[in-house]
Structure 1
Amino acid sequence: MSIELSAFRWVPPFARGYVRDLRVRWALEEAGLPYEVRLIDPQIQASDSYRRWQPFGQVPAYRDGRVEMFESGAIVLHIARQSEVLAPVDEAGRARVETWVLAALNSIEPSAQNFASLEVTYGAQAPGKEQESLDRRLEALGAWLGQREYLEQRFSAGDLMMTTVLRELVACGALAHYPTLEAYRLRCEARPAFARALEGQLQPFREHPAG
């Protein structure tokens, strides 16, 4: 069985390029693993058959004949275990990659999402504690990155996941205050595999403009 990945047939314009199947598409493109995309709509999303694959009705869901999975971070880690492009083969190196994937999801993303959501709602009047929380996280990440090109010695699934989280801060302007992190994001997004993954997500939205 070939790899199958679920994705939305249509989303509102503001979400295009940010739906989380992008993370899995990018990992698969980096790993050079062929895959098929199953596009879903609200009817499929609510169906019993899809809920048996993805209990919360979200995307992405993944299966490859050996495993069925959901949650983008878990799927990316599964793919990374199959590709030296995404994780080194030694145990210590793999552990560092897994740590950075979880750091992106647990240490950076909650603060990023809280701030971005409040900035949309309140603009310049957004509560200061969310800004402070985000700044502490981004300052720590920037200090770690320093002059490094990537979080560790080379690009990995950790960088992939961190980049997709940092992208959420572009529209609200928060990342502009951290040139080291902005340069890092752009460096990761310049990878050809990212461009292919992004185009793969955007194409169905152009083909189904009305949902």
Structure 2
Amino acid sequence: MPIDPQASLTITGFDWVPDFARGYVRDLRPRWACEEIGLPYAERLISAVERPQSHYADQPWGQVPVIDDGGIRLFESGAILLHLAQKHAGLLPDEPQQRADALSWLFAAFNSVEPMMFELGQVTLFAAGEQWAELRKPSLMAFIGERLDRLAAALGGRDWLAGPFSIADIAMATVLREAGDTDLLDERPVLAAYLARATARPAFERALAAQLAAFSDHPPIPSDSTGETP
């Protein structure tokens, strides 16, 4: 595994999240990219309950991931994936059109698919049972289905979105995992098979194991306004 406390690249993640979020926090994406190319990285784990004020200087909303690459700091997983791919071979195709396709699909994953998946999480998890969520769910599922149908048609019989495996597939596969226990992928065998191929990659398995290993079993005890634990 490329986790190395002495590495020049540091990935910031959380030291604890609720069970339902484990394996889905977005620092999984740069971890996966590093595993694909054998790039060592160090971990910086912060509290998701009481996020340090210094973290907001690097990520305005206090989210993860953030990376520090030899003094260059980036936030947003898409920007981080692109940064890593531009510095290291093996994450973007060399052929010009395939490279352009990979970049297009990278942004498509985060702009055209993930917002719908985020809303799905809102209506099925965070607002489950609320009247507005129950009313929204049928039309949302239909809209997501239309988006996924177009994705399946575009993927066709190819293994990956842009020729060889790339950051576009890291992005899209992690987004598709957010479909959770719905039938959205089961009803679209092309996408179910695509996701299965992606998550069967040894690099994904190592990245997932690394993220899960970073979580403690219990949430930290919040401190009071004086900074001392109650």
Give me the TM-score of the superposition, normalised by structure 2: 0.84
Q: 2: distance between equivalents of 1:117 and 1:43?
A: 20
Q: Deviation at 1:126?
A: 5.0
The runs of 5 or more residues in structure 1 that have no matched partner are none
Aligned equivalent of 2:20: 14
Q: Deviation at 1:43?
A: 6.9
CA contact 2:98–2:163 (8 Å) conserved in 1: no
SS in 2 for 1:6: strand
Q: Deviation at 1:82?
A: 2.3
Aligned equivalent of 2:83: 78
Which stretch shifts more, 98-107 or 57-66?
57-66
Aligned equivalent of 1:94: 99
CA contact 2:93–2:163 (8 Å) conserved in 1: no
Q: Deviation at 1:46?
A: 3.5
Q: What is the root-mean-square deviation in Å for CA atoms of aligned residues?
A: 1.9
Q: Deviation at 1:42?
A: 4.3
Q: Deviation at 1:23?
A: 0.6
Aligned equivalent of 1:195: 205
Query: Superposition pairs for residues 32-43 of structure 1, below 5 Å?
Result: 32-42=38-48
Distance change >3 Å, CA 44–CA 162, structure 1 → 2: same
CA contact 1:31–1:79 (8 Å) conserved in 2: no
Q: Deviations over 1:102-127 (max 9, x none)?
A: 00001111112222332331487653
1:60 to 61, 65, 75: 65
The runs of 5 or more residues in structure 2 that have no matched partner are 1-6, 220-230
Report which of the two has the higher share of helix. Answer: 1
Output the amino acid matched with 1:210.
H
Tell me which stretches of 4 or more aligned residues in structure 1 moved more than 6 Å.
none
Distance change >3 Å, CA 173–CA 200, structure 1 → 2: same
Query: Superposition pairs for residues 23-172 of structure 1, below 5 Å?
Result: 23-42=29-48, 45-47=51-53, 49-120=54-125, 121-122=128-129, 127-172=137-182
Aligned equivalent of 2:10: 4
Q: Deviation at 1:79?
A: 0.7
Q: Deviation at 1:36?
A: 0.2
Q: Deviation at 1:154?
A: 1.5
Output the amino acid matched with 1:80.
A
Which stretch shifts more, 126-135 or 33-42?
126-135
Aligned equivalent of 2:218: 210
Q: Deviation at 1:66?
A: 4.6
Aligned-pair identity (%): 43
Which stretch shifts more, 172-181 or 37-46?
37-46
CA contact 1:44–1:50 (8 Å) conserved in 2: no
Q: 1: distance between equivalents of 2:57 and 2:77?
A: 17
SS in 1 for 2:87: coil
Q: Deviation at 1:159?
A: 0.8
CA contact 2:15–2:48 (8 Å) conserved in 1: no
Output the amino acid matched with 1:188.
A
Output the amino acid matched with 1:33.
L
Distance change >3 Å, CA 97–CA 191, structure 1 → 2: same
